[in-house]
Amino acid sequence: MIEISEKVEFNKIFKDFNETKCRYRVAKGSAGSGKSVNVAMDFILKLSDPYYKGANLLVLRKTEDTNRDSTFAELEAAIIKIFGIYSNKIWKITRNPLMMECTLTGSRIIFRGMYDDRQREKIKSITVKVGKLVWIWLEEATEFEESDIDILDDRLRGNLNEINPNLYYQMTFTFNPVSASHWIKSKYFDIDDTDIFTHHSTYLDNRFIDEAYHRRMMRRKERDPDGYRVYGLGEWGELGGLILTNYIVKEFNTNAENFDSMANGQDFGFNHANAILELGFKDGDVYVCSELYEYEKDTDELINIAEGRFDKTIDMFCDSAEPDRIKMWKKAGYNAKGVKKTEKASKKALAGATIKNYINSQIDWLKQRTIYIHPSCINTIKEIQQWKWQKDKTTNEYIDEPVNIFDDAIAALRYGCSKYMKDTNKLNNKKITSYVDLYY
């Protein structure tokens, strides 16, 4: 066995999870429960141990690029925490492409995505230097389709005794349980199977969480009780109260010539996400083609990240409350403009118009068409799966006002669709011929 730092500590709740050799170990839990940190530590310890020599790990997010700031960062932090000043001698790390290799065992960690057929084919052709691919980690597992899992499951086969009798095949899932209708629940939680080990954890089980995080969760519990059940208590999201159910996640050609028209929508953010969506419009339906979704980035950083990813010549509709940011996007060559929500209402003799009216009218418009979401738009998918109406605190009944948390991609969707919302809505009994007339 290898010697590790005395500072390495685990949350005791994960002991059985780390020790199980079941083919499927499935960890659902709240945000901040420590499940991803635990999995990263567990894998680094095992892959660094000659006892498991010959083991290799494949780490997956639905989109390959999202590994960099999530799984890769978690595993790198685990290496530093475990080995300290000896980290560079024990693990060789490359960032282009993302890969890690242990000098003690020859074991490798390979990072991939699965959002299209090309990436799926890359997984089938993975080769390793020592041993076999025996472990797979799917972070944010709710991003994946059940067919993705079948492809991966088929990858874990063959006799391991000839390589190392201590090895075993295993798939690890970590996620927040957004919806009770998700296939993961029926496939792994609703059946009794000796090959499956399920685990539940919350931020309350994480002894390393600070008091500020506890206070943040209490605020969410007060403002968004249903969201707290999922992201605070790690429970399956209830099916009722969802605002948009008329969406389909599927692969489609995102080239501009496949649509009648296109637009970009942007919701500005820093502490909450800054979201940009590229949208296509065809036969009255909406197609979410691509997304940018970043936290704690200033406008210059976002413009650099967006370079080459979005068509600058098409309209980019942004929240008008941030004119300085819009100006910066214009200076960078984008056709950026503000979506004004109620400022012009009084001038149009619509004094009763409010942001609530505005958003609900947009929701009505969106409900009347099919929204197709490309599988690479993982954050848009997450948001639309849990975007709900608020509940009245007295009656516990849903009211016609959305929960205004975790809705940044949804806001970008609404902004991007604004100019197409014509001839379908009324406010204060006055017909609106165009949202462009009202809000730009």
Local structure of 219: helix, strand or coil? helix
Local structure of 413: helix, strand or coil? helix
Query: Do 182 and 263 fall into the same domain?
Result: no
Query: Do 333 and 427 fall into the same domain?
Result: yes
Local structure of 232: helix, strand or coil? coil
Q: What single letter denotes the amino acid at residue 267? A: D
Least confident of 5-14, 123-132, 361-370: 5-14
Please give the distance of CA 164 from its chain centroid, rounded to a whole number: 36
Q: Is the pLDDT of residue 224 over 90?
A: no
Q: Is the pLDDT of residue 24 over 50?
A: yes
As a whole number of angstroms, the distance between CA 337 and CA 421 comes to: 16
Question: Contact 341/355 with Cβ under 8 angstroms?
Answer: yes
Tokens (6 digits) for 127: 């080769």
- Could you tell me the CA-to-CA distances from 192 to 152, 175, 195, 196, 198 in Å, in that order? 22, 20, 9, 8, 10
Query: Do 186 and 262 fall into the same domain?
Result: no
Looking at 180, 209, 238, which one is the last position of a domain? 209
What is the largest distance, in Å, between two alpha-carbon atoms of the chain? Answer: 80
- Kindly indicate the confidence band of residue 386, based on its pLDDT and cuts at 50, 70 and 90: confident
As beta bridge partners, residue 58 has: 110, 136
**Residue 220 domain-assigned?**
no
Query: Do 188 and 83 fall into the same domain?
Result: yes
**Residue 241 domain-assigned?**
no
Looking at 209, 235, 259, which one is the last position of a domain? 209
- Kindly indicate the confidence band of residue 337, based on its pLDDT and cuts at 50, 70 and 90: very high
Question: Contact 176/35 with Cβ under 8 angstroms?
Answer: no
Q: Which residues contact 359 (CB under 8 A, 6 or more apart)?
A: 402, 414
Tokens (6 digits) for 106: 């020859």
Which residue range is the domain that position 340 belongs to? 247-439
Question: Contact 78/18 with Cβ under 8 angstroms?
Answer: no
**Residue 59 domain-assigned?**
yes
Instruction: Please tell me the number of Cα atoms within 13 Å of 240 on its side-chain side.
Output: 7
pLDDT of residue 120: 83
- Kindly indicate the confidence band of residue 376, based on its pLDDT and cuts at 50, 70 and 90: confident
Enter the pTM of the model. 0.71
As a whole number of angstroms, the distance between CA 39 and CA 37 comes to: 6
Q: What is the mean pLDDT of residues 164-180?
A: 93
Handedness of CA 87, 26, 242, 222 (dihedral sign): negative
Q: Which residues contact 440 (CB under 8 A, 6 or more apart)?
A: 337, 338, 339, 340, 418, 419
Query: Do 428 and 280 fall into the same domain?
Result: yes
Q: How many domains does the chain have?
A: 2
Q: Is the pLDDT of residue 13 over 70?
A: yes
| Comparison of pLDDT for 250 and 5, the residue scoring more | 250
Ramachandran region of residue 426, left (φ > 0), alpha (ψ -120 to 50) or beta?
A: beta
Query: Do 137 and 277 fall into the same domain?
Result: no
Peptide bond into 177 cis (omega under 30): no
- Kindly indicate the confidence band of residue 352, based on its pLDDT and cuts at 50, 70 and 90: very low
Strands 398-402 and 389-391, sheet pairing: antiparallel
Please give the distance of CA 397 from its chain centroid, rounded to a whole number: 29
Helices and strands in the chain, H and E counts = 15, 19
**CATH code, 287:** 3.30.420.280
Give the rounded percent of residues in the chain with a pLDDT score beyond 90. Answer: 60
**CATH code, 113:** 3.40.50.300
Q: Which residues contact 408 (CB under 8 A, 6 or more apart)?
A: 267, 269, 272, 273, 274, 275, 293, 379, 383
**Residue 375 domain-assigned?**
yes
**Residue 222 domain-assigned?**
no
Q: Is the pLDDT of residue 140 over 80?
A: yes
Query: Do 174 and 317 fall into the same domain?
Result: no
Looking at 159, 179, 209, which one is the last position of a domain? 209
As a whole number of angstroms, the distance between CA 35 and CA 200 comes to: 9
Task: Report the chain's mean pLDDT, rounded to a whole number.
Answer: 87
Per-residue pLDDT tens digits for 407-440: 999 999 999 998 887 544 433 333 333 333 333 3
- Could you tell me the CA-to-CA distances from 169 to 132, 133, 159, 161 in Å, in that order? 10, 8, 10, 12
As a whole number of angstroms, the distance between CA 145 and CA 155 comes to: 16
Instruction: Please tell me the number of Cα atoms within 13 Å of 230 on its side-chain side.
Output: 20
